[in-house]
Amino acid sequence: MSDRPVSQALFARASAVLPGGVNSPVRAFRAVGGAPVFIARANKARLISADGAEYIDFVNSWGPAILGHGHPAVVEAVREAATGGLSFGAPTELEVLFAERLRGFYPSLDKLRCVSSGTEATMSAIRVARGFTRRDVIVKFEGCYHGHADHLLVKAGSGLATFGVPDSAGVPEAIARLTLPLPYNDADALREAFANRGKEIAAIILEPVVGNMGCVPPEPGFLQLVIDLCREHGALSIFDEVMTGCRLAPGGAQERFGLRPDLTTLGKIIGGGMPLAAYGGRDDVMSIVAPLGPVYQAGTLSGNPVAVSAGLATLAQLTPALYERLEALGAALEEGFRAAARDAGVPACVQRVGSMITLFFREGPVRNWTDASGSDTKRFATWHAGMLARGIYWPPSQYEAAFLCGALTDADITRTIQACRESLAA
C-alpha cells in the first residue's frame, strides 16, 4: 500500500499524458522507486504534498529557492510586474536594472544576455565561444551536467578516450565527436588534452563546484589551471554557474575562489523561481553576438518582465547575513550526517561547499565521476525512502546535490539529522 495515495493516483494520470509522468526526468523518482510526491504548495522551507503531508525541503526547486518558498518581497514583485503586462517582446528598464545588478555581483560579466533556461545559456555560450575562436572542439568533464543541448549530452565511454560518445539517442555522433570529455579534477588529463589538441579547442565548460554528480569540490588549483590553459592556447573558459551562481556567494564560485573566467552562465537563483537564465563575459567576446556580430541567438520571452522582477527581488535579498546563515546551517548538517554515518557503521562520506551538500554512500573523497559512480545506490534508495517517511524531501538521486535555503531553522536541521540517524539504522 502506498503511503501517498493521492500522489500515486496523480502519477497514474500523469503517466497517461506525460512521458514517465513528468516534465523533467529526475522528478519521476526512478532512482529511488515509488510514486513521486506531487506538490500542492510550499511555504518557506516546507513543501505540502497533494496528500497533505509536510516535508522539509532540501531540493528547493533544484536550487532557485535560496530564500525558501514564497518570500513576500519576491511574490509582491511578481504580482506587480504581472499587473503591468506579462510580456512585450520589446526592451524594458527592468532588464537594464537586472543586467546592471548582475554585473555588480560578477565583475567578469562585461556584457550579458538574458535567456529562459540554463540549457539555453550554456548552448549559447558555447556557440559564442566557437564563433569567437573559430574552433569546434569543446572540453567538458564527466559527470558535469550543462543542460540538454546535443553537444553537452556527452561523457567518456570507457573504450573511447579520444572522442565523445552521445549519452542520448538522437544526438548525432558527428556532433558528439566535437566534445572531448575528461575526468574532473585531473590536471594531467587536461594538460595532455591541450598538448594534443590545443589548436582545435574552442572552450572548456565546467561546473566550478559540481552539483550534478553529487557535490564534488574542485581541488586547489584546478580551476585556475583551466583558466590558464585556455589563455595559453587561445581557448575560452566557461564557468557554468547555473547552480553555483548566487548560491556559493552573490558572485558565485568565481567570487568564492577569486577567479575570472572568460564566460559565465547563470540560471536558477537569478530568476528567483521563474524561467530566467543568462550568459555573458568578456566584452570582446560578447560583442560578436547579434545584432552586433555574426553569432545568432534570440528569444521571444528573453528578459521577460515578470521573470526579471522575480530575479531582481531575489538578488536584493542576497545579503552577507544570508550566506553566513547558510554556511552555519550547512556546517551543522554536515557534522550531523557525518556522525550519524559513523555511528551507524555505514561506509559514507559527506561533501559540502556552502549550501550544497551530498551524503555519498561510499568512503571518500569523491573527486570525479568514477568515484561518484562507485556509490551504493541501493543503500541510498533505502535511506531516501526513510527520509521521506520522516518528512524530509531530499533529492531523489545519489547524483544530485541537496540545497539549503535561508528559511531553514535550527530545529529543522536537528530534525533532519535525527531522521538521517533513524533512516541509516533502518
Chain residues in the site for ligand PMP (CB under 6 A): 62, 117-119, 122, 145-147, 207, 211-212, 240, 242-243, 267, 277
- The active-site residue out of 57, 262, 268, 371 is 268
- Compare residues 184 and 420 and give the one whose CB is closer to ligand PMP: 184
Task: Give least dist CB 181 to ligand PMP, A.
Answer: 15
- The active-site residue out of 55, 145, 323, 393 is 145
CA dist 168 and 191 (Å) reads 28
Q: Which strands make up the sheet holding 349-353, listed edge to edge?
A: 349-353, 356-360, 402-403
C-beta of residue 244 within 8 angstroms of C-beta of residue 270: no
Q: Which has the closest alpha carbon to 288: 109, 111, 120?
A: 111
- Compare residues 271 and 386 and give the one whose CB is closer to ligand PMP: 271
CA dist 174 and 161 (Å) reads 16
CA dist 336 and 316 (Å) reads 31
Q: Which has the closest alpha carbon to 144: 71, 95, 204, 91?
A: 204
Task: Give least dist CB 111 to ligand PMP, A.
Answer: 20
CA dist 97 and 316 (Å) reads 12
240 catalytically annotated: yes
Task: Give least dist CB 144 to ligand PMP, A.
Answer: 7
268 catalytically annotated: yes
Task: Give least dist CB 118 to ligand PMP, A.
Answer: 2
C-beta of residue 50 within 8 angstroms of C-beta of residue 7: yes
Report which residue type is found at 309: S
- Compare residues 29 and 145 and give the one whose CB is closer to ligand PMP: 145
Task: Give least dist CB 205 to ligand PMP, A.
Answer: 9
- Compare residues 209 and 424 and give the one whose CB is closer to ligand PMP: 209
Output the residue with the shortest Cβ distance to ligand PMP: 118
- Compare residues 207 and 255 and give the one whose CB is closer to ligand PMP: 207
Pairing of strands 111-115, 277-281: antiparallel
For residue 365, whether the previous peptide bond is cis, meaning omega lies within 30 degrees of 0, is yes
- Compare residues 279 and 419 and give the one whose CB is closer to ligand PMP: 279
Dihedral sign of CA atoms 391, 397, 398, 401 in order: negative
- The active-site residue out of 186, 240, 371, 412 is 240
Longest distance between any two alpha carbons in the chain, whole Å = 61
184 catalytically annotated: no
CA dist 361 and 319 (Å) reads 34
Enzyme catalytic residues: 145, 240, 268
